[in-house]
Amino acid sequence: MIEYVSAPEKRLILLRHGETEWSAARRHTGRTDIPLTPNGEEQALAAGKLLAGLGLRDPLVFSSPRRRALRTAELAGLTDVHIDDDLVEWDYGEYEGLTTLEIQRMSPDWTVWTGVTPEGETAGQVRKRADHVLATVIPELATRDVVLVGHGHFSRVLIARWAEFDVVEGRRFFLSTAAVTVLGYDYQARTVLAHNLVPQLEGTDR
Protein backbone atom coordinates (compact mmCIF):
# COMPACT_ATOMS: atom_id res chain seq x y z
CA MET A 1 0.00 0.00 0.00
CA ILE A 2 1.22 3.52 -0.83
CA GLU A 3 0.62 5.94 2.05
CA TYR A 4 0.79 9.68 1.45
CA VAL A 5 -1.40 11.20 4.13
CA SER A 6 0.10 13.22 6.98
CA ALA A 7 -3.26 14.32 8.40
CA PRO A 8 -6.47 12.53 9.43
CA GLU A 9 -8.39 13.70 6.37
CA LYS A 10 -8.74 11.28 3.48
CA ARG A 11 -7.57 11.78 -0.09
CA LEU A 12 -9.08 13.18 -3.27
CA ILE A 13 -7.95 11.03 -6.21
CA LEU A 14 -8.17 12.25 -9.81
CA LEU A 15 -8.08 9.71 -12.65
CA ARG A 16 -7.90 10.93 -16.23
CA HIS A 17 -9.53 8.72 -18.86
CA GLY A 18 -7.38 6.43 -21.02
CA GLU A 19 -6.18 7.21 -24.50
CA THR A 20 -8.59 8.01 -27.35
CA GLU A 21 -7.75 8.58 -31.00
CA TRP A 22 -8.10 12.31 -30.46
CA SER A 23 -6.03 12.46 -27.28
CA ALA A 24 -3.27 10.50 -29.04
CA ALA A 25 -3.34 13.12 -31.81
CA ARG A 26 -3.51 15.94 -29.19
CA ARG A 27 -6.85 17.13 -30.53
CA HIS A 28 -9.05 19.07 -28.12
CA THR A 29 -11.86 16.74 -27.09
CA GLY A 30 -14.64 18.33 -25.14
CA ARG A 31 -18.24 17.50 -26.05
CA THR A 32 -17.31 14.84 -28.63
CA ASP A 33 -18.08 11.46 -27.07
CA ILE A 34 -15.47 9.07 -28.47
CA PRO A 35 -14.34 5.70 -27.12
CA LEU A 36 -11.02 4.55 -25.74
CA THR A 37 -8.50 3.04 -28.11
CA PRO A 38 -7.31 -0.53 -27.38
CA ASN A 39 -4.24 1.06 -25.80
CA GLY A 40 -6.51 3.30 -23.74
CA GLU A 41 -8.35 0.25 -22.45
CA GLU A 42 -5.03 -1.30 -21.43
CA GLN A 43 -4.10 1.93 -19.68
CA ALA A 44 -7.39 1.92 -17.76
CA LEU A 45 -6.85 -1.67 -16.63
CA ALA A 46 -3.35 -0.78 -15.47
CA ALA A 47 -4.69 2.28 -13.67
CA GLY A 48 -6.86 -0.08 -11.64
CA LYS A 49 -3.74 -1.76 -10.28
CA LEU A 50 -2.23 1.62 -9.50
CA LEU A 51 -5.37 2.63 -7.60
CA ALA A 52 -5.34 -0.67 -5.72
CA GLY A 53 -1.84 0.19 -4.55
CA LEU A 54 -3.17 3.35 -2.96
CA GLY A 55 -5.32 1.33 -0.57
CA LEU A 56 -8.47 3.35 -1.13
CA ARG A 57 -10.72 3.57 1.92
CA ASP A 58 -14.43 3.16 1.21
CA PRO A 59 -14.10 5.37 -1.88
CA LEU A 60 -16.89 7.55 -3.13
CA VAL A 61 -16.59 7.62 -6.93
CA PHE A 62 -17.83 10.28 -9.36
CA SER A 63 -17.33 10.27 -13.13
CA SER A 64 -17.89 12.49 -16.10
CA PRO A 65 -20.80 11.18 -18.20
CA ARG A 66 -18.58 10.80 -21.28
CA ARG A 67 -18.09 7.16 -22.28
CA ARG A 68 -14.29 7.47 -22.31
CA ALA A 69 -14.43 8.35 -18.61
CA LEU A 70 -17.09 5.78 -17.67
CA ARG A 71 -15.23 3.01 -19.51
CA THR A 72 -12.01 3.99 -17.75
CA ALA A 73 -13.77 3.79 -14.38
CA GLU A 74 -15.21 0.38 -15.27
CA LEU A 75 -11.90 -1.09 -16.44
CA ALA A 76 -10.10 0.36 -13.41
CA GLY A 77 -12.43 -1.65 -11.19
CA LEU A 78 -14.27 1.29 -9.68
CA THR A 79 -17.81 0.44 -8.61
CA ASP A 80 -20.95 2.33 -7.58
CA VAL A 81 -19.96 5.19 -9.88
CA HIS A 82 -22.02 8.39 -9.64
CA ILE A 83 -22.39 10.58 -12.72
CA ASP A 84 -21.49 14.24 -12.22
CA ASP A 85 -22.12 16.49 -15.23
CA ASP A 86 -19.75 19.08 -13.76
CA LEU A 87 -16.83 16.72 -14.47
CA VAL A 88 -17.11 17.06 -18.25
CA GLU A 89 -14.13 18.46 -20.13
CA TRP A 90 -13.63 22.14 -20.90
CA ASP A 91 -15.99 23.10 -23.74
CA TYR A 92 -13.69 24.08 -26.61
CA GLY A 93 -16.45 25.54 -28.78
CA GLU A 94 -15.26 26.23 -32.32
CA TYR A 95 -11.87 24.71 -31.49
CA GLU A 96 -13.29 21.24 -30.82
CA GLY A 97 -11.21 18.60 -32.59
CA LEU A 98 -8.31 20.93 -33.37
CA THR A 99 -4.76 20.78 -32.05
CA THR A 100 -3.14 23.75 -30.36
CA LEU A 101 -0.86 24.26 -33.36
CA GLU A 102 -3.86 24.36 -35.71
CA ILE A 103 -5.60 26.89 -33.47
CA GLN A 104 -2.47 29.04 -33.26
CA ARG A 105 -2.48 29.43 -37.03
CA MET A 106 -5.73 31.37 -36.54
CA SER A 107 -4.93 32.87 -33.13
CA PRO A 108 -1.18 33.16 -32.52
CA ASP A 109 0.01 32.32 -28.98
CA TRP A 110 -3.41 30.87 -28.06
CA THR A 111 -3.63 28.36 -25.24
CA VAL A 112 -6.72 27.12 -23.49
CA TRP A 113 -5.38 28.70 -20.30
CA THR A 114 -4.81 32.20 -21.63
CA GLY A 115 -6.78 32.61 -24.86
CA VAL A 116 -10.36 33.27 -25.91
CA THR A 117 -12.25 30.18 -27.10
CA PRO A 118 -15.06 31.17 -29.50
CA GLU A 119 -18.40 29.61 -28.55
CA GLY A 120 -16.62 27.69 -25.77
CA GLU A 121 -16.30 28.07 -22.01
CA THR A 122 -14.42 30.89 -20.36
CA ALA A 123 -11.94 30.27 -17.58
CA GLY A 124 -14.48 31.76 -15.18
CA GLN A 125 -17.16 29.29 -16.21
CA VAL A 126 -14.77 26.36 -15.82
CA ARG A 127 -13.63 27.67 -12.44
CA LYS A 128 -17.24 27.80 -11.27
CA ARG A 129 -17.75 24.13 -12.20
CA ALA A 130 -14.52 23.08 -10.53
CA ASP A 131 -15.31 24.96 -7.35
CA HIS A 132 -18.75 23.35 -7.23
CA VAL A 133 -17.20 19.88 -7.56
CA LEU A 134 -14.75 20.59 -4.76
CA ALA A 135 -17.43 22.06 -2.49
CA THR A 136 -19.43 18.86 -2.99
CA VAL A 137 -16.63 16.40 -2.23
CA ILE A 138 -14.64 18.17 0.50
CA PRO A 139 -17.13 17.28 3.29
CA GLU A 140 -16.83 13.60 2.27
CA LEU A 141 -13.07 13.66 2.87
CA ALA A 142 -13.62 13.67 6.62
CA THR A 143 -14.59 10.01 6.46
CA ARG A 144 -13.59 8.48 3.11
CA ASP A 145 -11.48 8.79 -0.01
CA VAL A 146 -13.10 10.33 -3.08
CA VAL A 147 -12.24 9.42 -6.70
CA LEU A 148 -13.07 11.72 -9.62
CA VAL A 149 -12.80 10.21 -13.11
CA GLY A 150 -12.59 12.80 -15.82
CA HIS A 151 -10.56 14.64 -18.40
CA GLY A 152 -7.21 16.30 -18.91
CA HIS A 153 -7.79 20.02 -18.80
CA PHE A 154 -10.65 19.96 -16.34
CA SER A 155 -8.71 17.72 -13.95
CA ARG A 156 -5.84 20.18 -14.13
CA VAL A 157 -8.27 22.96 -13.21
CA LEU A 158 -9.39 20.90 -10.22
CA ILE A 159 -5.77 20.52 -9.12
CA ALA A 160 -5.16 24.25 -9.42
CA ARG A 161 -8.32 25.16 -7.52
CA TRP A 162 -7.58 22.56 -4.83
CA ALA A 163 -4.20 24.23 -4.34
CA GLU A 164 -5.97 27.61 -4.19
CA PHE A 165 -4.48 28.84 -7.47
CA ASP A 166 -6.33 30.54 -10.31
CA VAL A 167 -7.43 28.42 -13.28
CA VAL A 168 -4.49 29.55 -15.42
CA GLU A 169 -2.10 27.68 -13.13
CA GLY A 170 -3.57 24.41 -14.34
CA ARG A 171 -0.94 24.79 -17.08
CA ARG A 172 1.66 23.75 -14.48
CA PHE A 173 0.13 20.28 -13.97
CA PHE A 174 0.52 18.21 -17.14
CA LEU A 175 -1.57 15.04 -16.89
CA SER A 176 -1.06 11.94 -19.03
CA THR A 177 -3.90 9.69 -20.19
CA ALA A 178 -5.01 7.28 -17.44
CA ALA A 179 -2.73 9.06 -14.97
CA VAL A 180 -3.57 9.52 -11.30
CA THR A 181 -3.13 12.56 -9.08
CA VAL A 182 -3.50 12.38 -5.31
CA LEU A 183 -4.66 15.49 -3.48
CA GLY A 184 -4.88 15.80 0.27
CA TYR A 185 -3.73 17.74 3.27
CA ASP A 186 -0.48 18.47 5.06
CA TYR A 187 -1.99 19.21 8.44
CA GLN A 188 -4.68 21.77 7.49
CA ALA A 189 -3.12 22.97 4.24
CA ARG A 190 -4.37 21.58 0.95
CA THR A 191 -1.53 20.01 -0.98
CA VAL A 192 -0.66 17.85 -3.98
CA LEU A 193 0.53 14.57 -2.47
CA ALA A 194 1.41 12.89 -5.77
CA HIS A 195 0.95 13.91 -9.38
CA ASN A 196 0.77 12.27 -12.81
CA LEU A 197 1.26 8.72 -11.60
CA VAL A 198 1.27 6.74 -14.85
CA PRO A 199 0.15 3.10 -14.79
CA GLN A 200 2.62 0.46 -15.95
CA LEU A 201 1.25 -1.50 -18.90
CA GLU A 202 1.64 -5.27 -18.88
CA GLY A 203 4.69 -6.58 -20.71
CA THR A 204 6.13 -3.15 -21.53
CA ASP A 205 8.50 -0.61 -20.06
CA ARG A 206 5.97 2.17 -20.60
Within 10 A of 72 (CB to CB), how many other CB atoms are there? 30
Q: Is the dihedral of CA 63, 7, 167, 20 positive or negative?
A: negative
Give a yes or no: residue 173 inside a domain: yes
Give a yes or no: residue 114 inside a domain: yes
DSSP-assigned beta bridge partners for residue 189? 186
Give a yes or no: residue 206 inside a domain: no
Q: pLDDT, tens digit, for every residue of 5-59?
A: 444 579 999 999 999 999 999 999 999 999 999 999 999 999 999 999 999 989 9
Give a yes or no: residue 24 inside a domain: yes
Give a yes or no: residue 4 inside a domain: no
**Domains: count for the chain:** 1
| Nearest alpha-carbon partner for 20 in 117, 133, 97, 111 | 97
Q: pLDDT, tens digit, for every residue of 57-85?
A: 899 999 999 999 999 999 999 999 999 99
* CATH number of the domain to which 40 belongs: 3.40.50.1240
Give a yes or no: residue 144 inside a domain: yes
Element housing 97 (H / E): none
Distance CA(85)–CA(24), nearest Å, equals 24
Give a yes or no: residue 6 inside a domain: no
User: Which residues have a catalytic role annotated?
Assistant: 17, 89
Question: Which domain, by its residues, includes 70?
Answer: 12-197
